[in-house]
Structure 1
């Protein structure tokens, strides 16, 4: 089973955390709108739509051992990675994701192997934006040798074919193009869909649900 060290805060506390980080400003929402989105929600992760708060803007808000997060240099198209077919994401500026798991039990599986196992279990793979939001609320979920992929997001090429890259969240060793100054920084990167990595599980959830109230109808 997946081991998660940080318990998810209440949605109300999550909204306050996002406001403190300035995510509402990135998304063009008011603090009240984020707080209203969390009102009355149960045990779930509050996610702001990446159409309003793109991953490229949120990644630097991540922290691990005081280091800010970053996107790898060869993923300048990170914001073009959207939900793959079969991964329904509610419309609107924000939504909720229930029953998160890091997927440690699938470490050393390839994305191509993990996806059918996740769906067969009645679960849905996390998108990259959802993974980033989880770490904004629960930084301790990211551990060395226990990081995770977010294969609910894929990039579709103009031809209609899927790009072979699958996004992931892990911790930089400060080598190569990352630079020594980024050692221990949380990292938004990618792996090939057919490759296996011993330190990467596959994050998933039970379901996504719209938030209650007028925020769902905002354009």
Structure 2
């Protein structure tokens, strides 16, 4: 999206080799049932990354609830909001994933220019721009690798993940990642902690953009 990227002021993503080491350090490879050597080999095969590719683990291998606690902000661990016990049921919706345990998400953008848009408004705009919305797990991986992407009043939604109800309709909740104010059920001790929560499909929020990518690939 020429001229609209919100990642221009952020540092580039680490090399894919460095991202692999970060996941190994956090134990994500063990959660996914992948050996450290397999993860390193994938990063090596995929190339350097040029600061524009995110190494992601397929959500079927590592669900959001498993990696959210690995997030850190202000030395506080990430958490999932209490009223989202079904977080792992939010699955890719109108998003095609590579059929592989590891893949790359290319040209991530936080979508600051869409702050104060609703998910309902943002999705068709992203589609028109040939962008694909982030999954929740991809958003978590992004913050794990590039913590600076999560800033107060500059956080993001991940509307590629939706929950389909038993009757076939989509749940009106849409997942997002932001920084807790420590109010309500979050608890005062969680102020400034990374928070996996949700917003309504039709609501707007001034502090939330819409994370998206140019595409996904498995080298």
TM superposition score normalised by structure 1:
0.94
Measure how far apart 1:6 and its partner are.
3.1
Which of the residues 167, 174, 187 maps onto 1:166? 174
Segment drifting more, 104-113 vs 76-85: 76-85
Segment drifting more, 4-13 vs 193-202: 4-13
Measure how far apart 1:50 and its partner are.
1.3
Does 2:68 align with 1:59? yes
5 Å-filtered alignment, 1:1-219, equals 1=4, 2-3=6-7, 4-41=9-46, 42-43=49-50, 44-85=53-94, 87-210=95-218, 212=219
- Give the SS at the match of 2:196: strand
TM superposition score normalised by structure 2:
0.94
Partner Cα separation in structure 2 for residue 37 and residue 163 of structure 1: 35
User: Following superposition, which runs of at least 4 residues in structure 1 exceed 3 angstroms of deviation?
Assistant: none
Measure how far apart 1:32 and its partner are.
0.6
Question: Are 1:6 and 1:139, in contact at CA under 8 Å, matched by a contact in 2?
Answer: no
| Deviation sequence 1:47-79 (CA, Å, 0-9, x none) | 011111111010000000111000000111111
Q: Structure 2: give runs of 5+ residues left out of the alignment.
A: none
**How many aligned positions are there?**
210
Partner Cα separation in structure 2 for residue 160 and residue 96 of structure 1: 30
Partner Cα separation in structure 2 for residue 57 and residue 136 of structure 1: 13
Q: RMSD of the TM alignment (CA)? A: 0.9
Measure how far apart 1:107 and its partner are.
0.1
Partner Cα separation in structure 1 for residue 192 and residue 142 of structure 2: 18
| Deviation sequence 1:115-155 (CA, Å, 0-9, x none) | 00001001100010100000000011000000000001100
